A = this chain, B = another copy of it.
Amino acid sequence: MDQYHNPTEATLERIGGKWKTAILCLLGEQGPQPNGEMLRILSPVTQKMLTQQLKELEADGLILRTVFPEVPPKVVYELTDSGKSLQIVLDPLCAWGKRLADAAKQAEQEPGN
C-alpha cells in the first residue's frame, strides 16, 4: 500500500466493505451474535459474503471470532476494544445518512413536486 493522501483513507479501508458498517453496527447495538443470527438479520447477505467481511474485520482486529466445539458447530462474533472505538466514527456516519434520508422523504411530500 502506498502512502495515504489523508488519514480518512485508513479508516475507510477498514469499514468500506459492503456489509462492514452493518456488521459493526449490529454487533455494537445487539452485542455478540452467532453467524446464523447475523445471516438472518443482515438478509439478503449470503454466507460467503458474510464470512468474507467477518474475516477481514477480524484480520483488522475489529471483531473477535469464537468457536464453540459443539455439534452442530456454533460461532459467535463480537467487537474488540478497537471495534468498539469505531462507534465514534459510525455514529456520525449514521446520523448524516439518516438526515439525508429524512430530507429525501420530506421532498417527496412537498407541494412543489
Chain A stretch 21-48: residues in CB contact (< 8 A) with chain B? 21-22, 25, 42
Residue A52 interfacial (CB < 8 Å): no
Q: Is the interface of A mostly helix, strand, loop or mixed?
A: helix
- CB-based contact A96/B100 at 8 Å: no
- Number of contact residues on A: which range applies? 20 to 34
Taking the complex as formed, is A89 at the interface, i.e. its CB lies under 8 A from any CB of chain B? yes
The verdict on A4 contacting chain B, using a C-beta distance below 8 Å, is yes
Q: Which of B8, B9, B42, B90 contacts A8 (CB 8 A)?
A: B90
Q: Does A59 contact B (CB under 8 A)?
A: no
Residues of A within 8 A of B (CB): 4-12, 15-16, 19, 21-22, 25, 42, 85-86, 88-101
